[in-house]
Amino acid sequence: DAGVTQSPTHLIKTRGQQVTLRCSPKSGHDTVSWYQQALGQGPQFIFQYYEEEERQRGNFPDRFSGHQFPNYSSELNVNALLLGDSALYLCASSPSLAATGELFFGEGSRLTVL
C-alpha cells in the first residue's frame, strides 16, 4: 500500500520564478493538506483540500495556491518565489475531513530559492 508520494524530491529555483509541487495521497484518503517546514522549524499549515475545494487556509499569501484533482491528488503552486520560500514542503493526507490527528505525511519536496 503506497503511502503519500510527492514529487519532485528536490528542486532549485531562482527568485521570481514559479514552482509546482505534486502530491498523491495515501490509498483511500480523500483529504490533502500542505505544510511548509523551514529549516529547524515545525511544519506550518498552508491549506487543505477536500472535494476539489480549498477548505481551510493558513497565514500564507495569495502567491501560494493549490488544486485538487478528481483522483484526490493535489498540486501546490508558488508564484514570484522569494528567498524565504526555501523550505521543505510537506503534503499530508487523511481518510476524511475528520482528521483526529491521523495525518499521514509524505517525505516532502525540498525547494531551494537562489
Partner 1 sequence: QKEVEQDPGPLSVPEGAIVSLNCTYSNSAFQYFMWYRQYSRKGPELLMYTYSSGNKEDGRFTAQVDKSSKYISLFIRDSQPSDSATYLCAMSELEYGQNFVFGPGTRLSVLP
Q: Footprint of partner 1 on this chain (CB under 8 A)?
A: 4, 31, 33, 35, 40-45, 48, 55-56, 58, 90, 92, 94, 97-108
Grid coordinates of 71: 483522483
What's the min distance (Å) between Cβ of 78 and partner 1?
19
Nearer to partner 1, 13 or 110 (CB): 110
HSE-up (13 A, CA, CB side) for residue 38 = 8
> DSSP letters of 43-72?
-EEEEEEETTEEEEE-S--TTEEEEE-TTS
What's the min distance (Å) between Cβ of 27 and partner 1?
16
